[in-house]
Structure 1
C-alpha cells in the first residue's frame, strides 16, 4: 500500500503543476478549476493510502520479491444475481424523465424506486438466499 500512496502523491504534484501552467497559459476558469479539483482528489487519496500504510502490516505488493500468488486470498463477498437493481434503474429513469416531461411521472417512479430499495435491502431475508 505504500507504493500506491506514493504514486498518488506524485500524481497530485504533477496535476498541480499542470493546473498552474494551464491556469496561467489558457486563462480558462472551468478547466483550471477541474484540474485543481483533480489535484485535491489525488492528494486526499494519496494521503489516505500513505496514512493507512503506516498503520497496517506490509502487504505482498510492498515486497519486491513477492510472487503474484502471495497476494491471493478471499477478495470479498459478492451477491448472487438480483433483479432489484433493474427495478431501481427503471424507477430512476422515470424519475429523471419526470423532470423533462412532467412531474406526474413521479407517481409511477416512486413506487418502483421504493420496491427496488425494499427488495435489495431485504433480499437475504427471503427466498433461496435466506440465511438459516
Structure 2
C-alpha cells in the first residue's frame, strides 16, 4: 500500500500545479474548481493509503522481489447466480431514461431499483441458500 499512497500524493501535486496554471490562464471557474476538487480527492486517498500502510504488514506489492503468485489467494465471496444486478441495471437505465423522456418513468424505475436492492441484500436469507 505504500507505493499506491506515494502515487496518489504525486498525482495530487501534479493536479495542484495543473489547477493553478489552468485557473490563471483560462479564468474559467468550473474547470478550475473541478481540478481543485480532483486535487483534494487525490490527496485524501494518498494520505489514507499512506496512513494505513504504516499500520498493516508489508504486502507483496511493496516487495521488489515478489512474484505475482505471492499476492494470490481468496479475494472474497461473489455470488455466482444472482439476478439482482440485472434488475438494478434495468431500473437504473429506466431512471436515467426518465431524465430525457419524462419524469413519469421514475414511477416504474423506483420500485424496480428498490426491489432489486432488497433482493440483493437478502438473497442468502431465503430459500436453499438460507444461513442457519
What TM-score comes out, normalization by structure 1 length? 0.85
Aligned residues: 132
Aligned partners of 2:117, 2:58: CA distance in 1, in Å?
Answer: 39
How far residue 100 of structure 1 moved from its aligned partner, in angstroms, is: 4.4
SS at match of 1:119: helix
How far residue 84 of structure 1 moved from its aligned partner, in angstroms, is: 1.3
Partner of 1:29: 29
Aligned partners of 1:113, 1:61: CA distance in 2, in Å?
Answer: 38
What per-residue deviation string (whole Å, max 9, x for no partner) do you get for residues 67-121 of structure 1? 2222222111112131112222333333344444444434433332232122112
Unaligned ranges ≥5, structure 2: none
Unaligned ranges ≥5, structure 1: none
* Higher alpha-carbon deviation: 99-108 or 49-58: 99-108
What TM-score comes out, normalization by structure 2 length? 0.85
Q: CA RMSD in A?
A: 2.0
